Amino acid sequence: MPKICPQEEPTALQYSDASIPSTAYSPLIVALSFLALLWGYNWVVKKVGVRDCNPFLFSALRNVFGGLALFAIALVRVDH
């Protein structure tokens, strides 16, 4: 009987997970968990911040502090 589809290479999901050590996933899981917590807590901070000050002022302050944080990270990375 002729094959209709050519033989395909196995995908990453078809490989056995036994060959990948479980510690390889640990940094990824920690990073994704931290990111989910950070994004989830960000909603609470925005809700409280808008309640206490003008929404435009809060947005401006948030962008200024975010820019300062990114600038500080850029300065540290350039020194290396």
For the residues 5-27, what does the mean pLDDT come to? 61
Structure-model confidence comparison of residues 29 and 19, the more confident one: 29
Supply the DSSP symbol for 53: S
**12-38: average pLDDT:** 74
pTM for this model (two decimals): 0.51
| HSE value, Cβ hemisphere, 13 Å, CA-based, for 48 | 4
* Helix intervals (H) in 1-80: 26-52, 55-79
pLDDT for res 7: 61
Q: What is the pLDDT of residue 45?
A: 86
Q: Among 16-25, 40-49, 52-61, which is the least confidently predicted range? A: 16-25
